[in-house]
Amino acid sequence: MKGRILVVDADPEVVAGFGLFFSEKGYEVRGAANAHQAMQLVEKEKFGLIFLDNDLPGTTGLQALPGLARKSGAPVMMITALYDPDLKKDALLLGALDLVALPADFPDLEKTVSRIVGQ
């Protein structure tokens, strides 16, 4: 296994898509549908990288980002289907590595993930 990735997105198809691609590349992928579930997972498990959607029920990804990054110790990449330069600016200011627009270019994204998480 190359490393563990957490995908936080309310859309199960997004979580499944990330899971399918990255598990085939040798990563263990876990999913959470909201920030609360994500916090519960990072309290129990160690992750090498977190993909965090902004459009979550309850707490937005931007609101959850600082606490999730602090609690997990893992780098966070924001993901969004509604790309907005202001969202990217805010995410970077709050400590995200980047903002990835969906649908993601998985082969390109895997190069970044490999540098961060892979062996």
Q: Who wins on pLDDT, 3 or 117?
A: 3
Overall domain count for the chain = 1
Q: How many Cα neighbours within 13 Å face the side chain of 61?
A: 28
Structure confidence by residue, pLDDT tens digits, 34-74: 999 999 999 999 999 999 999 999 999 999 999 999 999 99
- 119 lies in a domain? no
- 86 lies in a domain? yes
pLDDT at 81 over 80: yes
Question: Residue 52 sits in which domain range?
Answer: 3-113
pLDDT band at 2 (very low <50, low <70, confident <90, very high): confident
pLDDT at 79 over 80: yes
Instruction: To the nearest 10°, report the CA torsion of 32, 35, 41, 42.
Output: 130
Residue 73's pLDDT is what? 95
Q: The whole model's pTM is what?
A: 0.95
Residue 118's pLDDT is what? 60
**pLDDT, mean over the chain:** 94
How many C-beta atoms lie closer than 10 Å to residue 26's C-beta?
A: 12
Q: What is the CATH number of the domain that holds 71?
A: 3.40.50.2300
